[in-house]
Structure 1
Amino acid sequence: MTEDFYCEEVLSGNTAVNKVVETENVLAYHHTRPFYPVHIVVIPKRHIVSLLALEKIDNDLLLELFDVIKKVATDVIAEHGACRVLTNLGKYQDSKHLHWHVAYGEPISREVLN
């Protein structure tokens, strides 16, 4: 996997994605290799390494990001009754680009994905 899948593949257009919501600064799309039956990724279009790298200058972007997360989560809850919203840090964060997962259902077996 690349260091920043989201910049190098998704935002560059090298990997096509099924968009859910797009604003000027944020993109939400169906995960390309989902871990859950419903698995949507929400990313800022500007590179930010992780939640820990956010600074005060990012406050407007963070508000826009959370507006999109809220909309996606509201839609998933309306359809399925529940969802998870999470981000990963450190060694749990495969791609070094801030991203949030909005997911519903039990994890899909990795054997099914391969």
Structure 2
Amino acid sequence: MSEDFYCEEVLSDRTPVQKVMETENVLAYHHTRPFYPVHIVAIPKKHISSLITLDYGDNDLLIELMDIVKKVASGVVSEYGACRVITNLGNYQDSKHLHFHVVYGQPINGAE
């Protein structure tokens, strides 16, 4: 896997995705290899390595990203009654691009 699947594959359109919500700066879509029965990923279209590398100049983008995460999470909660919002850092972060997972259900096939 590349260091940044989101820039190299998703945002370049090399890997097609099923979009859930999109703005000029943010994309939310169904995970291409879901680990949960409901697994949606929200990403900024600008490359930001992770939550801990955000700059103050990214505040407006972060607010827009969190608004999309909130809307997606609200929809999942409305439909299923619950969800989790997850972001990973360091060695837990497979793709070095800020992203949030909105998930519902038990992990598929023992995924964590």
How many Å separate the matches in 2 of 1:77 and 1:58? Answer: 28
How many Å separate the matches in 1 of 2:84 and 2:20? Answer: 17
How many Å separate the matches in 2 of 1:70 and 1:17? Answer: 20
Instruction: Extract structure 1 runs of 4+ deviating beyond 2 A.
Output: none
For residues 39-73 of structure 1, give each alpha carbon's deviation from its aligned partner in whole angstroms, at most 9, with x where no partner exists.
Answer: 00000000000001001100000000000000000
How many Å separate the matches in 1 of 2:108 and 2:28? Answer: 20
Could you tell me which runs of 5 or more consecutive residues in structure 1 were left unpaired when the two chains were aligned: none
Report deviation, 1:10.
0.1
How many Å separate the matches in 1 of 2:28 and 2:95? Answer: 16
The answer for the alignment partner of 2:55 in structure 1 is: 55
The answer for the alignment partner of 2:8 in structure 1 is: 8
How many Å separate the matches in 2 of 1:74 and 1:33? Answer: 22
SS of the residue aligned with 2:108? coil
TM-score, reference length from structure 1: 0.96
Report deviation, 1:90.
0.3
1:98 aligns with 2:83: no
The amino acid that maps onto 1:75 is G
Could you tell me which runs of 5 or more consecutive residues in structure 2 were left unpaired when the two chains were aligned: none
1:87 aligns with 2:87: yes
Report deviation, 1:110.
5.3
Q: Percent identity?
A: 72
The amino acid that maps onto 2:63 is L
The amino acid that maps onto 2:76 is V
